[in-house]
Amino acid sequence: MTEKEIDALLARAGDLMKRAADGEVAYSPFLTPQEQRILRVRLSHRDAPLFCGGYPDAERARAVFLPEYMAELDGDVRKELLGELLGEAVMPLLIKGSGFYVPTHRDYLGAVLHLGIKREAVGDICVLPDQGAILFCDSVMAAFLKENLVRVAHDTVTVGKVTLPPDFNGGRSFRPLCDTVASPRADAVVAALCHLSRERAQALFAKDLVQMDYESLQKYDREVPEGAVLSVRGYGKFVIRALSDKTKKGRYRLVADQYQ
């Protein structure tokens, strides 16, 4: 993001904080992972919002700014009230087709945007194998989509509410990866994950093809922390699960998952 875009994001967050200070529960649109990270870093702990995307590992989530009185409520009462509010603000919908054609994520997103809906008005679109897709939005958008989203790519669809299982993970699957690297530097990690030489990996950084935690990463000597999300254009997206233990030869054990 440019500094101008970051300033605009922080200004919008400031407006939401003022509304919360006046006693209102205030919501942002659905934010990208990068936008969420900026708010986490730039806002003080006292001003930090909750993030809700509909399930624990959601990529796009709404920032929720709470009024002070909610912090003073009894724990169970607060949890119940918050659950009701978030249930209206981030609602899962099931988009189901006839089954003769299996739409892609791009198909679902294109159909939504074709209705004149801005991308920030909806959250994740989770494509499920042979089961349609789950889309997250607020209750007002849900009513609109139920009335107007009738076709995705070459198939007719229906849209309705759905109750997700507690362990819903967005339908994601991962391929586990294990290797050893000389150091936790980004170029060494990318080389191992993408099966490249160190020199070819460094060239990817120079071409701005690598992101860490959804931000461009051009300094290939930066260390990669555990839990980081690395995206390498043309090679995939990876979550670093472990990168701290050393072998007897002094190399670091790299454990990662690649998004499928």
Each residue's pLDDT tens digit, 176-209: 999 999 999 999 999 999 999 999 999 999 999 9
Mean pLDDT over 156-166 rounds to 93
The pLDDT confidence band at residue 123, using thresholds 50, 70 and 90, is very high
Query: How far out from the chain centre does Cα 153 lie?
Result: 24
Residue 236 exposed, middle or buried by CB count within 10 Å (0-12, 13-18, 19+): middle
Beta strands in 58-197 (DSSP E): 61-65, 91-97, 125-128, 132-137, 151-152, 155-161, 174-181
Residue showing tokens 């931000």: 215
Mean pLDDT over 41-53 rounds to 86
Residue 212 exposed, middle or buried by CB count within 10 Å (0-12, 13-18, 19+): buried
Pick the more confident residue, 255 or 66. Answer: 255
**Start-to-end Cα distance in the chain:** 26
pLDDT computed for residue 89 by the predictor: 93
Each residue's pLDDT tens digit, 85-114: 888 999 999 999 988 888 888 999 999 999
Sheet arrangement for strand 61-65: 26-31, 61-65, 50-52
Q: What is the mean pLDDT of the chain?
A: 91
CB contact set of 89 (below 8 Å; sequence gap of 6+): 27, 52, 62, 64, 138, 139
Each residue's pLDDT tens digit, 232-243: 999 999 999 999
Q: Indicate whether 26 pLDDT > 80.
A: yes
The pLDDT confidence band at residue 170, using thresholds 50, 70 and 90, is confident
Task: Give dist(CA 193, CA 191) in Å, integer.
Answer: 6
- Token readout for 184 is 């936790």
pLDDT computed for residue 114 by the predictor: 96
pLDDT computed for residue 253 by the predictor: 95
Q: Indicate whether 75 pLDDT > 70.
A: no
pLDDT computed for residue 39 by the predictor: 93
Task: Give dist(CA 238, CA 192) in Å, integer.
Answer: 11
The pLDDT confidence band at residue 156, using thresholds 50, 70 and 90, is very high
Query: Which residues does residue 160 pair with via DSSP β-bridges, in sequence order?
Result: 94
Distances in whole angstroms, Cα of residue 97 to Cα of each of 92, 100, 170, 196, 259: 16, 8, 18, 41, 25
Q: In this structure, are residues 87 and 163 in contact, taking their beta carbons and an 8 Å threshold? A: no
pLDDT computed for residue 151 by the predictor: 95
